[in-house]
Amino acid sequence: MTADRRPALEASDLWFSYSARRPVLRGVSLTAAAGEITIVLGVSGSGKTTLLKLCKGLLGPQRGAVRVLGEPVVAGRRRRLDPGVAYIPQHLGLVRNSGVLDNVLTGALGRVAELPSLLRRLPEDELRRAQALLERLGIGGKAAEKVYALSGGERQRVAIARALMQRPRLLLADEFVSQLDVLTSRDILTIVRGIAAEGVAVVVTTHEMELADRYADTVIVLRDGEKVLDRRAQAETITDIALALRG
């Protein structure tokens, strides 16, 4: 893994609430370095998904700021988002009626000419890149299939291919292996580790401690919207994580 610790993502003092009730996030800060995997752990309702949406710009913080490679992330319900930040939601957000290749190609929409893309005319090199990504992820033969016909692990790979199609500097993945069996989860996270090794900063949320122990360079634990642990992954981290999660 690369030793570059340049912060690709800097989130500082993030506060967010969906209503007047208790905030979902309370003053959470984090940094994620290029070439590393940061795993955000927390039980359901601890604020993990909200944190990733703030980092992506799908939500705007009530207080605090997010920067990606030094550039501020500006949220807006209908504004164009930064294609350099890839986001994989918990249930992947694939268009089920579309084919696998079409889903992957959506990753290129942020950089291709708009009008031809509306007529499904995408540059040949983008088509080749999408096919190559599918080959790399082991589902090259599924390009023409509809997403609804794929298995869970294959859908995960399609979502990763779409994210990589964006040529991301930062990859945000929200609980995206939580519904897979152990072996498939490991396969997927090994792929993610390879992506990080290419210099992409990866932030993955999960509630599974074992994944943090095995794959994280940095572990962050959220509890009730607050960060209660943020440290480099070490052999003894697993005990600290368990204590932090339990409170």
Partner 1 sequence: MMGRGALTAWLRRLGGLVLIAALIATLRSVGLLDPERLVRGVRNLGIFARGLFPPDPSTLPTLGGAMLETIQIAFAGTAIGFVLALPLALLACPVLFGPPVTASVKLVLALVRTVPALFWAIVFVVAVGLGPAAGTLAVALYSLGYLGKLLYETFDGVDPEVVEAVRSVGCSRAQLARYAILPETANGILALLLFMFEYNVRASSIMGFVGAGGIGFYLLGYIQLLRYDLLLSGLLLTLAVVILIDWLSGLVRRMFLIPVTPAAPAE
Label residue 9 exposed, middle or buried (CB < 10 Å: 0-12, 13-18, 19+): buried
How many residues belong to the site for partner 1 (CB under 8 A)? 47
- Length, in residues, of the chain: 247
In the complex, what is the shortest distance from the CB of residue 78 to partner 1, in angstroms, rounded to a whole number?
6
d(CA 81, CA 63): 20
Stretch that binds partner 1, among 1-9, 21-29, 60-68, 95-103 (CB under 8 A): 95-103
181 binds partner 1 (CB under 8 A): yes
182 binds partner 1 (CB under 8 A): no
81 binds partner 1 (CB under 8 A): yes
Stretch that binds partner 1, among 11-19, 85-93, 221-229, 230-238 (CB under 8 A): 85-93
129 binds partner 1 (CB under 8 A): no
Taking the least distance from each CB to partner 1, the nearer of 186 and 231 is: 186
91 binds partner 1 (CB under 8 A): yes
Task: Report CA-CA distances (Å) from 211 to 51, 201, 218.
Answer: 19, 17, 12
In the complex, what is the shortest distance from the CB of residue 109 to partner 1, in angstroms, rounded to a whole number?
4
Q: Which of 8, 39, 58, 134 is close enough to bind partner 1 by CB under 8 A?
A: 58
Residue 73 has, within 13 A of its CA and on its CB side, a CA count of 31
107 binds partner 1 (CB under 8 A): yes
d(CA 42, CA 167): 28
Which residue reads 């190609």 in tokens?
105
CB 84, CB 166: distance < 8 Å: yes
Task: Report CA-CA distances (Å) from 111 to 10, 105, 215.
Answer: 24, 11, 31
Taking the least distance from each CB to partner 1, the nearer of 122 and 216 is: 122
Q: Which of 60, 93, 123, 199 is close enough to bind partner 1 by CB under 8 A?
A: 93
87 binds partner 1 (CB under 8 A): yes
In the complex, what is the shortest distance from the CB of residue 208 to partner 1, in angstroms, rounded to a whole number?
18
96 binds partner 1 (CB under 8 A): yes
Question: According to CB under 8 A, which residues from 145 to 174 bind partner 1?
Answer: 146, 148-153, 155, 159, 162, 165-166
* Identity of the amino acid at 214: R
Spatial CA neighbour of 189 closest among 165, 215, 208: 215
Question: According to CB under 8 A, which residues from 15 to 54 bind partner 1?
Answer: 53
DSSP annotation of 45: T
Give one DSSP letter per residue of 88-128, joined into a string: E-TTTT--TTSBHHHHHHGGGTTTS-HHHHHTT---HHHHH
Binding site for partner 1 (CB under 8 A): 53, 56, 58, 78, 80-98, 102, 106-111, 114, 117-118, 146, 148-153, 155, 159, 162, 165-166, 181, 184
